Amino acid sequence: MKRIFNHIQFLLKGIKVFALVGRSGTGKSFRAKLVAQKYGIELIIDDGLLIHDQKIIAGKSAKKEKAYLGAIKTALFDDHEHRAEVLSALHETKFKRILLIGTSERMVEKICKRLRLPSISKMIKIEDIATTDEIETAIRSRKIEGKHIIPVPSVEIARNYSHIVYDSVKIFLKNKLPFLTSSRQQVFEKTVVRPEFSKRGRVSISKAALTQMVLHCAEEYDSTITLKKVHARIDSHGYILTLHIHVPYGVQLSGNLHGFQEYLIDNLERYAGIMIQKVNVIIEDFSSREMRRI
């Protein structure tokens, strides 16, 4: 009942929800403030943090988590106290527009639902606001150096997360971009961090841990998908996963499974610090019977 009441409150206030979506390491957080500037957005939700006017006003960063599961749960507001803190701040803050940042449409829709916000009114893809070269440069920086961006000044991060701060970046913008109407120079500072789960060095992971992560992603994405086996091998380009799954009869597949593959790759790379070269999905059977998970 309280969930419905909170949702109605946001609807009555005329809140509009925007989302910025793209694969892990493509530069979403780096461009978050530019998107906010273009659409007159006051609040940003990024990796568990609620940000207003380049300041953290609630939440905790997924980037301080030491393990994959903790990071993804934080980003999705899985913890009740974390979620309640951000919900309280949302109700106390005057705003009309909010931007959610995530690796997939599924992820931002889940965040939207958990924070009891209205449906997303505009979905923006990173490819719409960044060139192919810019995206590839960002991905290389993530893969080689493990660097992540948080869209607030370094002093904000240093207060609570000084151990992950790596550097800061100031962006000076004149009216060169078509969507910036102001003629005066804009200055945004962003913090470069190296999260606990993305330290330098070779990352290896046990089959049991990898299977647990894949199971968690499957449950988060679609609870009707049942994993029966997970095979993994690694070469110089990253992990190659082969998933054997069971799908209930009558479930629509093609787009759903393609989305699942992307969701799995994005989240394993983002939070486990491992590179995924390929995910193969083998459907072993269709059945209306419930099957136990591995």
Which of 22-26, 189-193, 205-209, 245-249 is least confident?
Answer: 189-193
Residues 167 and 114 in one domain: yes
Q: What share of the chain is helix, strand, coil (3-state, %, to 5)?
A: 40, 30, 30
pLDDT of residue 108: 95
Return the higher-pLDDT residue of 185 and 115.
Answer: 115
Q: Is residue 294 part of a domain?
A: no
Axis-axis angle for helices 68-75, 207-221 (nearest 10): 20
Residues 193 and 216 in one domain: no
Query: What number is the average pLDDT over the span 48-62?
Result: 89
Q: How confident is the model at residue 172 (pLDDT cuts 50, 70, 90)?
A: very low
Query: What number is the average pLDDT over the span 264-273?
Result: 78
Residues 148 and 238 in one domain: no
pLDDT of residue 271: 72
Distance of CA 112 to the CA centre of its chain: 12
Residues 27 and 149 in one domain: yes
Query: What number is the average pLDDT over the span 93-107?
Result: 93
Q: Is residue 48 part of a domain?
A: yes
Total number of domains constituting the chain:
2
For residue 18, pLDDT beyond 90: yes
pLDDT of residue 175: 47
Q: Is residue 139 part of a domain?
A: yes
For residue 17, pLDDT beyond 90: yes
For residue 174, pLDDT beyond 60: no
Q: Is residue 130 part of a domain?
A: yes
Residues 174 and 223 in one domain: no
* CATH number of the domain enclosing 263: 3.30.300.20
Strand partners, 239: 234, 276
Nearest residue to 211 via CA among 188, 185, 184, 244: 244
The answer to whether 238 and 192 are in contact (CB under 8 A) is no
Residues 191 and 254 in one domain: no
pLDDT of residue 68: 66
For residue 78, pLDDT beyond 80: yes
Residues 127 and 39 in one domain: yes
Residues 180 and 234 in one domain: no
pLDDT of residue 41: 96
Residues 140 and 239 in one domain: no
Taking the C-alpha atoms of residue 195 and residue 273, their distance in angstroms, rounded to an integer, is 10
- Looking at every residue in the chain, the average pLDDT score rounds to 75
Amino acid at position 82, single letter: H
Residues 42 and 105 in one domain: yes
Return the higher-pLDDT residue of 270 and 268.
Answer: 268
Q: Is residue 292 part of a domain?
A: no
Q: How confident is the model at residue 195 (pLDDT cuts 50, 70, 90)?
A: low
Taking the C-alpha atoms of residue 92 and residue 10, their distance in angstroms, rounded to an integer, is 12
Residues 213 and 267 in one domain: yes
For residue 101, pLDDT beyond 50: yes
Q: Which domain holds residue 149?
A: 2-198
Choose one of 155, 180, 198: the last residue of a domain.
Answer: 198
Return the higher-pLDDT residue of 277 and 101.
Answer: 101
Residues 75 and 144 in one domain: yes
* CATH number of the domain enclosing 94: 3.40.50
Taking the C-alpha atoms of residue 276 and residue 228, their distance in angstroms, rounded to an integer, is 20
Query: What number is the average pLDDT over the span 1-16?
Result: 70
Query: What number is the average pLDDT over the span 60-85?
Result: 84
Can you give the C-alpha Rg of the chain in angstroms? 20
Taking the C-alpha atoms of residue 191 and residue 195, their distance in angstroms, rounded to an integer, is 12
Q: Is residue 232 part of a domain?
A: yes
